[in-house]
Amino acid sequence: MNEFQAAQRKRLEEPAADIGLEPFCAMVNSNYKCHELALELSNSVMEALTPYYAEQVNFEDTCKGFLEVGKEALSQAVEVIFEDPGVKELISKLYQKGILLMHGGAFSQAIFGLLLVFSEHGLSNHYV
């Protein structure tokens, strides 16, 4: 599990624009699912172990690592969206017309709605 997280972290070091939106959304989904599965595994293993051995096993860091990688992937997905030339142009037009405050909230809601569509489990709920 730690090797998987290390590979994901290495991928996150690449420029966000080179990776694209879909791989980031896949990372969010994968890491959220891995977090859930690691928690289930942890519970099963801890129930099966004697107290002596249970004290020596630590799944917490691994489970937390999946959420950290997912959070970073979500952050970079947002970066990809806001670095998109079309989105920049739209924000610029809204700002220039002085209606950013009126429509900015709806625009942001639409963008994050798209992210949640791509990220089926809504990892962002863990960080709100």
- Does position 78 have pLDDT exceeding 60, yes or no? yes
**pLDDT at site 114:** 66
Residue 111 dihedral angles phi and psi, to the nearest 5°: -60, -50
Q: What is the pLDDT of residue 127?
A: 41
Q: What is the mean pLDDT of residues 75-102?
A: 77
- Residue whose token pair is 């963008």: 111
**Distance between CA atoms of residues 8 and 120, nearest Å:** 19
Q: With contact defined as beta carbons under 8 Å apart, do 126 and 34 qualify? A: no
pLDDT in tens, 49-61: 888 888 888 888 8
On the question of pLDDT at 122 being above 60, the answer is no
